[in-house]
Amino acid sequence: METEALSPRPLRRRLLIGVAVMFAILASIGGPLLVQAAPHDAHSSGLSDPLPPTSTQGTRVTFVGTQVRLSMNGVTRTVATDTAARLNPLFAQLASVSPNGATLLYVTGIGEDMRDTIFTTVNLRTLRKQVIAKLGNTFWIHAPRWSPDSTQILYARENLTTFAPQLWVLNANGTNQRLVMTGGALTHYSFEGRMNKAPSWSADGKSITFFDSAYTPKTQWTVSLATGARTASAITQPDCPVTPGHDSVQPMCYYGPGCWNVPIYAQNNQYYSNDLMKSANQSIGGYGCALTSLTMLFDYNGSTVGDPRGMNNCLSPWGYADGLNWYGAQVNPPNGPGCDRYTTNFISRPGFSWSTLDSYLKSGWPVIVGICYDGSTCNQTHFFVVVYGDGSHNEANYYINDPWNGVQVQMSAYAGDYLNVMVLYQKASGTGSPCE
């Protein structure tokens, strides 16, 4: 007996009915329906499949060679490629995903002082890149901030005449770049410190907020985008112990004892970033992470050299600033510069050890740590000061003063990088308040 073949027309009808039923079911249960666009030359350029917009919690951006990698929702993918010389691993911490999860913004430049700065966005549906701003040498190194509705970006620039910071806003597509704030209470102190997410946006996206000091804020300023009006409100510092976890712009308790009070300096502070260090004649902004870290530690112990310019002026006549002579910096006159002002004793420069780090922090001695971006070959290095740790050996539970951009962040900002060396100093007068 012959069977009857189904004609094409009834088959298409059944498929269409099935698709319609599926849509109806999704609609009835309120389930999401994502229609994902095809990637733009994604596979031909070696990129991963595109990412659908989703939660931005726990996102992390890393630069590896020519690749821009995004870890999001437990998946790590290459979402863009760029020139390797512009993708310094340091710059990855300036990148961010828009609040709606649709767009990645990353920032590139030349050298640690970020000359020839470029803002680039990546559409995470299509993986299409767009250069939205070229800032030349005017970028003030501080992470740009997305507006709450993902349509605008707040960033900082430098006035090349006065070296003062300015706040600017541009649309997410690069249009309508405009100056929002300059002068007044906005200074480099508004960027350097613990309040590493300030300046920022108001919750409604209609204003910009910043502090007189990101280290010990006493006044919060609000600038209206519509009118330019500025209003100030005092910040009351509560009488409570210092606690970790201050990754926000809310007032915290910053006047307690211990290593939370290690000063924070930025090597790229434009007031001295172009100063040359002896004997290699490289700039503080481009190569001064070690010198700036040493300045923070010595000043915490009671030195009076002041900022990195003062430290450079102390070390450079001896040729100790670049490369940095960790021991020589605290040798007293007439045999050395005595930049510690008799406050600090050099101990050693051993390989990294969690147990040694914990021991020093418990004694109230911050520790300078050197890391390598390229593994144990250590052709790309960076130094910072560890100011807090809970003994867990989990980098997320340790805090550092990062000299590159002058902010206090979790040590996990450099997770995956090779922990190479420690530079150990002890305060000459003995132990301090525990850094824990």
Percent of the chain's residues with pLDDT above 70: 79
Predicted confidence (pLDDT) per residue in 120-161, tens digit: 999 999 999 999 999 999 999 999 999 999 999 999 999 988
Residues 288 and 410 in one domain: yes
Collect contacts of 351-360 with beta carbons under 8 A, ≥24 apart: 351/420, 351/421, 351/422, 352/419, 352/420, 352/421, 352/422, 353/422, 354/393, 356/422, 356/424, 357/386, 357/389, 357/422, 358/389, 358/391, 358/393, 360/424, 360/426, 360/435
| Residue 212 domain boundaries | 184-256
Domain final position from 256, 272, 295? 256
CATH no. for residue 417? 3.90.70
Predicted confidence (pLDDT) per residue in 217-237, tens digit: 788 899 999 999 999 998 765
Residues 339 and 421 in one domain: yes
Residues 264 and 324 in one domain: yes
Residues 214 and 307 in one domain: no
Structural domains counted in the chain? 3
pLDDT averaged over every residue in the chain: 82
HSE-CB for 169 with a 13 A CA cutoff: 21
What is the reported pLDDT for 420? 95
| 13 has a pLDDT exceeding 60 | no
Residues 225 and 369 in one domain: no
| 32 has a pLDDT exceeding 50 | no
Domain final position from 208, 230, 256? 256
What is the reported pLDDT for 88? 92
